[in-house]
Every structure is written in C-alpha cells, then in structure tokens.
Structure 1
Amino acid sequence: MEMRLLGDSGISVSSICLGTMTFGQQNTEAEAHAQLDFAVAQGVNFIDAAEMYPVPPKAETQGRTESYIGSWLVRQARDSVVVATKIAGPSRGMKWIRGGPQITAPQIRAAIDGSLRRLRTDYVDLYQIHWPERYVPMFGERYYEPARQRAAESIENQLRALGELVQAGKVRAIGLSNETPYGVMSFAQAAREHGFPRVVSIQNAYHLMNRTFETGGLAEVSTQLNIGLLPYSPLAFGLLSGKYLSDPSAAGRLTEFPGFGQRYAKPNVAEATRAYVALAQRHGLSPAQMAIAFTRQKPFTTSVIIGATSITQLAENIGAADVTLSAELLAEVDEIDQRWPNPAP
C-alpha cells in the first residue's frame, strides 16, 4: 500500500482510507471490527469517522460509529493507526448533538471530549470540521444564494479554538470538509496572520460524476497550499460499481435510505453511469476499482475514503490501490465527462 504525507503534518497515511459511516447502522460491532482488521491487514492505516455517524443521522445511533472504533482501537498499538474524526456543523435537524451543533469554542471542546471518550483514546490524528459554520451550498445544492447567509462564528475564532486542541495534545492536525475555495483560503489566511495551525486536508465529494473539485477552483487551492484532498463517495453511493444497472433494487444506501441520495436522482446520472461502467468493462476492469483508481491517481489526492458493508466489497475496493489507469483510458474518461459533465455534484 502506497503511503502519502498528510499535507505538512508529517503524518503518513495509506492512499486508501477506511470510511466508517455504516458502522452502527448497516454494520454490527462485530462486522465493524472485522472490516477494521481486514483493512489493516491489507496495509490501510487510516480510518475516518465523525461524531454524527452512523448515517442516516439519528439521536438513538449518534456516536455509535466512534464507539465501535473505540472498542477495536483499544486493542491496537495506538501509534500504528491514523484516526480521523469530525465535529458536526450547524444543523436545525440534529438537536440531539449539543442542542444543535455549532463550531464555537465551547462546542469544539465538548465535541472533541465526546469523540475521545467514545474512541477510547486521548488524541485524534486529524480533526475535521464536517461542514462549514457559515452558509454554503452543500450535499447536492448547485447554486450559492447570498440571501441565505446567516450569522456564524468567525473562521479566526474557529481556528483559534482548534489550535488550542493541538496545543493541549488532543489533536495532531486539522482538516476541513465540504469546503469552498473561499473557506480554504480564509483558513489559510487566518493561520498565517495569527500563527494558528495550518489546515492539512480537505474532505469533499469527488468522483467520476462530480469533478467540481477540479472545475471549481479547489484543485488549484489544494495544490498551491499543500492541502490534500480526501475524496469521499468515490463510487457515488454505489452507482459507479454498476450494481444498480443490473438490479435497481440491489441492497445499498440508495435503496435502503431513498431520501438520503437525492443528489444522485438528477438528469444524466443514469447515462453517465452506464458509460463509465461500460468503459471499465471494455478495459477488463472492475467498475468499482476503476472509479476508485481514478480518484486515487489525481495529483491533489492524498487518500481515497472507501466504505463497504461486506468484506467482499471491502476487498474489491481496497484492491483499487493496485490499479493504475492508462492515459488512453483517462482520455476516454474525459470524453465521457465532456458529454455529461458533473451530473451528480
């Protein structure tokens, strides 16, 4: 497994990261531990979680993912595993998280202490803001609407509070998620002007049917500032595996939680899916591995976050680490993207 540096943190992570949002909803604790054991045996040293997981978010399951990881982590050599988790951003619908999560200093302190307790460790390697404190279009929204701006904690104050966690030894490095070029640049400026810790990563959706990271300016920002991408949803909720083409009712998040994948119920998604799956098959590749390898090969990618509900799926996804896509195939990918650009942002 190839290892890559996480920004300028000095932390070395595998180019495949195990996502855990199914732990506690679609996967039992025993299944979660089996996935973790298998991933580590394949050379994966990077695990990503969040305080709101599993998904879909519910009061009765919130924090269960971290707890499942914690009951496994306590049996490991702590310095052999890179653990990332996230503080939830503002949400009117998740009142069960601190009465409504925010990225303020008191809530940041409460959130990290809760995560550390569930993870059964005294530090996390990467602590990320799950989505911005301020209004931005997210999770399938296409357009920025200035009228929707709201009062929000300043980026300077957010970074100051996160820096205090670094100073206290509770966090080794800081990352962002679901961010925009403006947000990343603002965090970088605040760090430079006030001596706060620099952001080392950004976790955004990125896959064959959502290349807005490249087309919207973030790839340049990421490259120039050495803030590596941790792309999530490389299979677009399983669509790019091709399983729904042969069986629209196949088991997966899109069928089990139909309201959770609205960003994929858009024009041209089906056409683009068929084209990418056919491309993989013409080249003798697994569609899932081709999709993951595509994100992994990008120069701005640090580690691709994969997820699975079975060891069989997990083995196939991790196997993408050994797949290198040819220049010819990548040119064909771009041709498909020209026909159906970003159908599922």
Structure 2
Amino acid sequence: MKYTTLPNTDIKVSKICLGTMTFGQQNTESEGHAQMDYALERGVNFFDTAEMYSIPSKKETYGSTERIIGTWFKKTGKREEVVLASKIAGPNANFGYMRDKLDFSPASIEYALDKSLQRLQTDYLDLYQLHWPERKTNCFGQRGYKFQEDAWEDNFYEVLEVLDGFVKAGKIKHIGVSNENPWGIMRFLEESKYHNLPRIKTIQNPYSLLNRLFENASAEVCFRENVGLLAYSPLAFGVLSGKYLSGEKQPNTRLSLFPQYSRYSSAKSTEATKLYQEVAHKHDLTLTQLAQAFVLQQLFVTSSIIGATTMEQLKENIDTIDVVLSDEILKEINAIQAIIPDPAP
C-alpha cells in the first residue's frame, strides 16, 4: 500500500480508502466485516462512511452502514488501526426521516454527530464532513453554477464555530466538506483563517475519467491551499470496469438494482468508456487499472475511495495501487478527454 497524510495533519492515510455505502443493502453485515478485514490486511487504513448510508438511502436502512462498521469495531477491537471518516447530511439530501430538520444548525450537528458515534461504537471521528452544501449548488447533472432562489443565509462562521466545539470536546479530530465548489472551499478557509477556527482538511467530490470537472477550478484551490481531494466514484458506479460494455445483463450490479443512478449511463459516457478501454487493452491493462491509476496519480488527490460488492472486485481495486501510467498513456487519455470532455457532470 502507498500512504500520504491528511493535509495539515500528521495522520497517515492509505492512498486507497474503503468506501462502505453498500454495507446494509448490497452487502450483508458479514460481507461488510469481511471487506474491512481484507482491506486492513492489505494496508487500507482509511474507511469512509456517512449517516445517510447505505445507498440508496431509505428509512428502513438509514444508518445501516455505520451500524455494521460499529459491530466490526466491537468484534475486532481495531478502532485505533483505522482512520475513520463520516458525514452529516445537509438539506439537499432531502431525506426527512433522518431528523426533524436537515441543516447544519447547532442542534442538527450535535444530533447527527452523536447518533453517528453511537452507531459506529466509537468516541470520536478522525474526519467529519459536511455531506452537501446547504446552498442550492453543485447539483448532479448540472454543468456550472446556475442561480436558484433559496432561503440560505451566510453561516460559514457559525458552522465552523459549532464544529470547533466538538473538536475541543474530542469528538472530532478534523473536518472536511463534500460536493462543494471553489467558492465554498474558499469561504470556509477564509473564516477559519480570520477567526482561528478549524480548517477544512479535505473535500470529497466525484472524480474519474468520465468526470474531470474538479480540474476546472477546484483542483487549483486545493493544490494551492493544501486541501486534499477524497475522490469518490473513481470507477463511475462501476461503468469504468467495462462490465456494461458487453451488452450482457448484469442483474446484481448497482445500475441494474438501482436504475435511478444513471449519471454515467449516457451515450457519450458509453462512447468514452469504449475508447478508454481500447487504451487500457493496448497497454496490457484492465480498464479498472487504467481508471483507478489515473485518479491516484493526480497531485491534488489525497485518497481514492473505492467501493465493491464482491471480494474479487475489492481485491482488483486495491491491486491498482501498484499501477503507474506512463506519459504516453496519459497523453492518450487526454486526447479522449479533448474529444469527449466530461460526459457525466
């Protein structure tokens, strides 16, 4: 395994992070435990979850992923061997069964954090992330910012002040954001700088061969301000494994079970995926190796969050840590990006 540190901390994290959102629906408790056992054995010491997991979020399975991680901690006693990250859902999650109000008010943060800690059977989180902005922005399927009326009022300072209280109480070590944009990142950094409040260390956004929108502006912000990207969906819901290109039915895959997750299923995404697969095969790589290695080689990426439903998939994903793409391969990738830029916003 290869390691780095969470920016501006001394916390060592694996370049591959275990994503857990399938635990509780696609994966049983025992399967989730087996994945965590195997990942830790392979040197993956960074696990990511969220209060709204498993996905797709619904009342019956709300919090199931955190509960499964919690029972694994209780069974194994390995909490101190894991860098654990979770998230509080914001109003754009639109799931009212989680709590009375989905926002980042003091009451909501305290409630969500305490419930996550209870489910996870731990006293603290290494990283606590705001899962989505309270503002109406950065929506899936939308390129760029489009003004929308909303009731949000500037509360960056207030949110950081509340989180600071939990840092001082020992419930949180560090904080991050998710699905944010450059303006939001800079506003959080500005408030922390001028008011001596906790600094965001990471941003968790989608990044893959089919979605490189992060490079447009957020990458420079993160590089210059030393905020690390935790890249999620590096395989684009499994599309960049190539398994959907055969035309054969895939009955137990995420896109078959949950067709609403069609972000990476457009004709342009399929066309681009075929071209990337040709590049991979030309250089004796699998498409999974090509896609994952591309993400891991970006300087602004702290860790790539992988998700798997089978042990075979998990092993292949972790094995990609040893793949290094040559300049020639990177040029061929960028040539495809120039022809079909970001087909899945």
Normalised by the length of structure 1, the TM-score is 0.97
Task: Find out whether 1:315 has 2:315 as its counterpart.
Answer: yes
The structural deviation recorded for 1:143 is 4.1
Aligned to 1:238: 238
Q: Which amino acid aligns with 1:318?
A: I
- Greater displacement, 148-157 / 229-238: 148-157
Identity of aligned residues (%): 49
Secondary structure in 2 matching 1:272: helix
Aligned to 1:306: 306
The separation in 2 between residues aligned to 1:132 and 1:93, in whole angstroms, is 12
The structural deviation recorded for 1:180 is 0.2
User: Deviations for 1:23-49, whole angstroms, at most 9, x for unmatched residues?
Assistant: 001000000000000000100000000
The structural deviation recorded for 1:238 is 0.7
- Greater displacement, 139-148 / 323-332: 139-148
- Greater displacement, 149-158 / 175-184: 149-158
The separation in 2 between residues aligned to 1:185 and 1:143, in whole angstroms, is 17
The separation in 2 between residues aligned to 1:262 and 1:156, in whole angstroms, is 36
Secondary structure in 2 matching 1:172: strand
The structural deviation recorded for 1:264 is 1.9
The separation in 1 between residues aligned to 2:95 and 2:167, in whole angstroms, is 27
The question of whether the paired residues in 1 share the 8 Å contact of 2:6 and 2:13 is answered with yes
User: Deviations for 1:165-193, whole angstroms, at most 9, x for unmatched residues?
Assistant: 11110001001100000000000000001
Secondary structure in 1 matching 2:117: helix
Aligned to 2:60: 60
The question of whether the paired residues in 1 share the 8 Å contact of 2:92 and 2:136 is answered with no
Normalised by the length of structure 2, the TM-score is 0.97
4+ aligned runs moved over 4 Å, structure 1: none
Aligned to 2:30: 30
- When residues 91 and 178 of structure 1 are mapped into structure 2, their CA distance, relative to the original with a 3 A threshold, is closer
Secondary structure in 2 matching 1:4: strand
The question of whether the paired residues in 1 share the 8 Å contact of 2:92 and 2:132 is answered with no
Task: Find out whether 1:273 has 2:273 as its counterpart.
Answer: yes
The separation in 1 between residues aligned to 2:291 and 2:151, in whole angstroms, is 37
Stretches of structure 1 that go unaligned for 5 or more consecutive residues are none
The separation in 1 between residues aligned to 2:215 and 2:50, in whole angstroms, is 25
Q: Which amino acid aligns with 1:197?
A: P
Aligned to 2:333: 333
Secondary structure in 2 matching 1:303: strand
Aligned to 1:90: 91
The question of whether the paired residues in 1 share the 8 Å contact of 2:51 and 2:66 is answered with yes
The question of whether the paired residues in 2 share the 8 Å contact of 1:116 and 1:122 is answered with yes
Q: Which amino acid aligns with 2:82?
A: V
- 5 Å matches for 1:1-345? 1-74=1-74, 75-91=76-92, 93-152=94-153, 154-215=155-216, 217-250=217-250, 251-259=252-260, 261-345=261-345
Aligned-residue RMSD, C-alpha: 1.2
The separation in 1 between residues aligned to 2:18 and 2:337, in whole angstroms, is 27
The structural deviation recorded for 1:103 is 1.1
- Greater displacement, 284-293 / 93-102: 93-102
Secondary structure in 2 matching 1:125: strand
Secondary structure in 2 matching 1:276: helix
Q: Size of the alignment, in residue pairs?
A: 343
Q: Which amino acid aligns with 2:230?
A: L
Q: Which amino acid aligns with 1:307?
A: G
The separation in 1 between residues aligned to 2:135 and 2:165, in whole angstroms, is 21
User: Deviations for 1:216-241, whole angstroms, at most 9, x for unmatched residues?
Assistant: x0010001111000000000111110
Q: Which amino acid aligns with 1:254?
A: L
The structural deviation recorded for 1:54 is 0.3
The separation in 2 between residues aligned to 1:187 and 1:297, in whole angstroms, is 27
- When residues 329 and 89 of structure 1 are mapped into structure 2, their CA distance, relative to the original with a 3 A threshold, is same
- Greater displacement, 23-32 / 268-277: 268-277
The structural deviation recorded for 1:153 is 5.8
Secondary structure in 1 matching 2:280: helix
- Greater displacement, 147-156 / 125-134: 147-156
The question of whether the paired residues in 2 share the 8 Å contact of 1:104 and 1:153 is answered with no
The separation in 1 between residues aligned to 2:164 and 2:202, in whole angstroms, is 15
User: Deviations for 1:95-124, whole angstroms, at most 9, x for unmatched residues?
Assistant: 101124111111001111000000000001
- When residues 190 and 324 of structure 1 are mapped into structure 2, their CA distance, relative to the original with a 3 A threshold, is same
Stretches of structure 2 that go unaligned for 5 or more consecutive residues are none
Secondary structure in 2 matching 1:85: strand
